[in-house]
Amino acid sequence: MTTLTAPLNVLFLCTHNSARSILAEALLNSLGNGRFKAYSAGSSPRENQQPHPLGLQVLQQAGIPTDNLRSKSWDEFAAPGAPRMDLIITVCDNAAGEVCPIWPGHPATAHWGYPDPSAGEAPDEVKLEEFRQTLHAMKRRLELLCHLPEEKLARLALQTSARALAQA
């Protein structure tokens, strides 16, 4: 497989940027083989928000690096000097329904909804399994994205390709 001249920048969005979007960022950076550079952000991260400890645990158990993962606002990626995104994927239904910033370069967009593994009052053992299931579901979809031929990743085809993967 040939490599694009520059990796495609992908931004995963969720409300608080502590669980699903963090999992997706780490996973795509691990699977992307230089074809993708993943980032994550939230529409309204809480003050002093950190990645969920169970999410970090699941990533570490899967052998996926967690260094430099942090919760951040999507405003960071709409600011001057931010990396230009090629694809923006919302991974929670709340963020999908919110009015997003105007992204420089008008990137392709898609919504890949996943249930929140951190929601509710379940014991940590139950939530840990929910994080594992979420990671597994994301991995299937991201592997498909990573194996798309370059013509499916071209600017005009990227949105159609990414939205079709929401059904995978």
- Starting from the edge strand earliest in sequence, which strands make up the sheet with 36-42, in order? 36-42, 8-14, 87-90, 108-111
Is a pLDDT exceeding 60 seen at residue 72? yes
| 68 lies in some domain | yes
- Pairing type for strands 8-14 and 36-42 reads parallel
Tally the domains of the chain. 1
Looking only at the bridges linking them, the beta strands covering 87-90 and 36-42 are unpaired
Tens digits of residue pLDDT in 124-158: 999 999 999 999 999 999 999 999 988 888 865 77
Which DSSP string do the residues of 115-153 spell out, in sequence order? --TT-SS--HHHHHHHHHHHHHHHHHHHHHHHTS-HHHH
Report the CATH number that the domain containing residue 64 is assigned in CATH.
3.40.50.2300
Residue 168 lies in a domain: no
Q: Is residue 3 part of a domain?
A: no
The pTM for the full model equals 0.88
SS3 state at 9: strand
Q: What is the pLDDT of residues 109-125, one digit of tens each?
A: 889 999 999 999 999 99
Domain assignment present for residue 102? The answer is: yes
Beta bridge partners of 38: 10
Q: Is 40 a member of any domain?
A: yes
Considering the domain boundaries, does residue 165 fall inside one? no
Where in the sequence is the domain holding 62, given as residue range(s)? 8-159
